[in-house]
């Protein structure tokens, strides 16, 4: 798509938005229904594309991709009328008689840019919020998941008026040009370095942004944790989608060396239980997205490191078996950046205090997790570890809730979405004070100022 074509598409959507075509609750519900029907109509093609790009089974494609979008649509549709109503606010004494209200206003033309690791869910879930709030939207799938991008493009071309919702595909240079065009809201999910570029471009026009980024999400396992349960939860959450999940456990901090060794043994048993004695031999299974990322992970593992448990690779199929690094050195290459692959460093620490301190010394992550039966340790963790969100005796699953806002903090992101938070992410709440013309508080006018003591009593 040429720069002129991009500009023309955005202008066409702006004209549609200003016509009011997306503003009524009925129109928004109709678009949500259309999105639901479009996904169902193209579900088989999306499943096939996800298998081609990432090796996802139909079960995984449903439970981690389209099923979550269906749930977001249903949740938003049911509550849309309530979300869209103006909200009353208290009115200060000095503004009486009067009334205060907050009015939800859609931003306008929204740009949604998705990553490759969950290329359906992370494109369409934000779109649910954009539609529910009354916006038009241009969505940009990741070109890295090429088959899925093509399937999504076909779905939008088949089912949507591009003046309302349009999909555009292209490489990084195309995305850069897209970001140079004026829009009213940018929603980006991806890496921290690219997130910085998006924010820099948005800053030139002061365009509001939501950034869903990443980081190294820690798991702390204290002395009281149920290790068998912990092992199963961590193995599932870490190796889902071959570890290519932004909120996957990135590294483990375990209180006590003996407990760490016991947990690692249980995790290895669980890996065999979940993936078989030879995970690489399985015909189906999630794979690394491409050769470049496979080589990045291979370099992280190196050769001859006796702390690596597992680590076998199949370059032809871009697959790496579930791998544990134990005991991991905090200076190991896997501890530098977000791993985004099936590699899990396990670091023993002497005490719970050490675990907390280790996590706090690093940039604020997108997620953090604690496994503990101690109320005191749970309270400390929630109070002292800053993160976007997370779980206690749980990993990853908080992102599947329509009742919890999901987003980062600091370098792991800006803003949140899911459920009502998605509606708010694409809404400007404008505050208005309405007063009666039948009464004036004239003491505010020049020449009628009362004493400061009288004003103090009035304003508090």
Q: Which H/E stretch holds residue 371? A: strand 367-371
pLDDT in tens, 134-163: 999 999 999 999 999 999 999 999 999 999
Query: Which DSSP letter does residue 242 get?
Result: G
In this prediction, residue 437 carries a pLDDT of 86
Cβ–Cβ contacts within 10 Å for residue 361, how many? 8
Q: Quick one: pLDDT band at residue 306, thresholds 50, 70, 90?
A: confident
**Average pLDDT, rounded, for the chain:** 96
In this prediction, residue 14 carries a pLDDT of 98
Considering the chain, what percentage of its residues have pLDDT values greater than 90? Answer: 90
Q: What is the mean pLDDT of residues 420-446?
A: 91
Distances (CA, A) of 8 to 2, 206, 207, 274: 10, 21, 19, 51
Considering the chain, what percentage of its residues have pLDDT values greater than 70? Answer: 99
For 106-120, 270-284, 439-453, which range has the lowest pLDDT when averaged over its residues? Answer: 439-453
In this prediction, residue 390 carries a pLDDT of 99
For 7-11, 279-283, 286-290, which range has the lowest pLDDT when averaged over its residues? Answer: 279-283
In what side-by-side order are the strands of the sheet with 185-189? Answer: 165-167, 136-140, 109-113, 185-189, 209-212, 413-414
Q: Which residues contact 351 (CB under 8 A, 6 or more apart)?
A: 255
In order, the DSSP letters of 336-370 are TS---SSEEEEEEESSHHHHHHHHHTSPPPSEEEE
Q: What is the mean pLDDT of residues 87-103?
A: 94
Instruction: Classify residue 173 as exposed, middle or buried by CB count within 10 Å of its CB (0-12, 13-18, 19+).
Output: exposed
Cβ–Cβ contacts within 10 Å for residue 304, how many? 5
pTM tops 0.75, yes or no = yes
Closest-CA residue to 242 (of 341, 371, 110): 341
In this prediction, residue 405 carries a pLDDT of 98
Residue 421 CA to chain centroid, in angstroms?
12
Q: Quick one: pLDDT band at residue 81, thresholds 50, 70, 90?
A: very high
In this prediction, residue 341 carries a pLDDT of 98
Cβ–Cβ contacts within 10 Å for residue 44, how many? 11
Cβ–Cβ contacts within 10 Å for residue 218, how many? 25
Query: Which DSSP letter does residue 431 get?
Result: E
pLDDT in tens, 13-71: 999 999 999 999 999 999 999 999 999 999 999 999 999 999 999 999 999 999 999 99
Higher pLDDT, 453 or 32: 32
Higher pLDDT, 431 or 441: 431
Closest-CA residue to 65 (of 45, 44, 50, 77): 50
In this prediction, residue 1 carries a pLDDT of 81
Place of tokens 């980024």: 213
pLDDT in tens, 341-396: 999 999 999 999 999 999 999 999 999 999 999 999 999 999 999 999 999 999 99
Residues with active-site annotation: 212, 246
Q: How far apart are CA 377 and CA 253, in angstroms?
A: 14
Q: Quick one: pLDDT band at residue 3, thresholds 50, 70, 90?
A: confident
Q: How far apart are CA 382 and CA 390, in angstroms?
A: 10
pLDDT in tens, 236-250: 999 999 999 999 999
Cβ contact 408:211 at 8 Å: yes
Query: Which DSSP letter does residue 329 get?
Result: P
Residue 448: is its pLDDT beyond 90?
no
Residue 107: is its pLDDT beyond 90?
yes
User: In the chain, count of helices (H) and strands (E)?
Assistant: 16, 20
pLDDT in tens, 173-196: 999 999 999 999 999 999 999 999
Q: What is the mean pLDDT of residues 316-340?
A: 96
Residue 268: is its pLDDT beyond 80?
yes
Q: Quick one: pLDDT band at residue 458, thresholds 50, 70, 90?
A: low
Backbone angles phi, psi at 190, to 5 degrees: 170, -155
In this prediction, residue 442 carries a pLDDT of 78
Q: List domains and CATH numbers for the chain.
A: 3-213+415-432 (3.40.605.10), 218-407 (3.40.309.10)
Residue 460: is its pLDDT beyond 70?
no
CA count, 13 A, side-chain hemisphere, 435: 12
């Amino acid at each position: 798509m040429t720069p002129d074509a991009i500009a023309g598409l955005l202008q066409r959507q702006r004209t549609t938005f200003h016509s009011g075509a997306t503003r009524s609750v009925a129109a928004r519900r109709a678009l949500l229904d259309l999105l639901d029907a479009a996904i169902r109509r193209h579900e088989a093609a999306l499943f096939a594309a996800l298998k081609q790009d990432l090796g996802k089974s139909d079960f995984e494609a449903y439970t981690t991709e389209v099923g979550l979008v269906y749930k977001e649509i249903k949740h938003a549709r049911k509550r849309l009328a309530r979300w869209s109503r103006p909200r009353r606010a208290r009115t200060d004494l000095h503004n009486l008689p009067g009334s205060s209200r907050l009015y939800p206003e859609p931003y306008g033309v929204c740009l949604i840019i998705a990553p490759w690791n969950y290329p359906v869910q992370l494109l369409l879930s934000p779109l649910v919020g954009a539609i529910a709030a009354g916006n038009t939207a241009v969505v940009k799938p990741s070109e890295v998941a090429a088959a899925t991008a093509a399937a999504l493009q076909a779905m939008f071309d088949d089912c949507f008026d591009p003046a309302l919702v349009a999909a555009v595909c292209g490489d990084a240079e195309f995305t850069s040009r897209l970001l140079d065009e004026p829009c009213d809201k940018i929603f980006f999910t991806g890496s921290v370095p690219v997130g910085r570029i998006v924010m820099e471009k948005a800053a030139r026009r002061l365009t509001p942004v939501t950034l869903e980024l990443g980081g190294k999400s820690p798991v702390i396992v204290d002395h009281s944790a149920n290790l068998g349960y912990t092992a199963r939860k961590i193995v599932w959450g870490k190796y889902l989608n071959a570890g290519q999940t932004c909120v996957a456990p990135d590294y483990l901090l375990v209180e006590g060396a003996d407990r760490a060794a016991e947990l690692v043994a249980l995790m290895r048993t669980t890996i065999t239980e979940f993936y078989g004695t030879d995970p690489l031999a399985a015909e189906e299974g999630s794979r690394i997205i491409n050769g470049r990322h496979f080589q990045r992970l291979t370099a992280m593992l190196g050769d001859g490191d006796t702390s690596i448990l597992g680590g076998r690779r199949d370059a032809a199929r871009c697959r790496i078996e579930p791998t544990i690094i134990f005991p991991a050195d905090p200076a190991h290459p896997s501890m530098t950046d977000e791993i985004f692959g099936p590699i899990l460093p396990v670091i023993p620490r002497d005490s719970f205090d050490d675990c907390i301190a280790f996590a706090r010394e690093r940039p604020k992550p997108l997620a953090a997790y604690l496994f503990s039966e101690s109320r005191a340790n749970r309270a400390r963790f929630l109070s002292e570890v800053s993160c976007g969100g997370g779980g206690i005796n749980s990993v990853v699953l908080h992102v599947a809730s329509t009742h919890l806002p999901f987003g980062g903090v600091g370098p792991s992101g800006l803003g949140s979405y899911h459920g009502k938070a998605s509606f708010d992410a694409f809404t400007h709440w404008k505050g208005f004070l309405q007063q009666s013309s039948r009464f004036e508080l004239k003491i505010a006018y020049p020449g009628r100022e009362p004493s400061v003591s009288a004003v103090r009593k009035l304003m508090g």
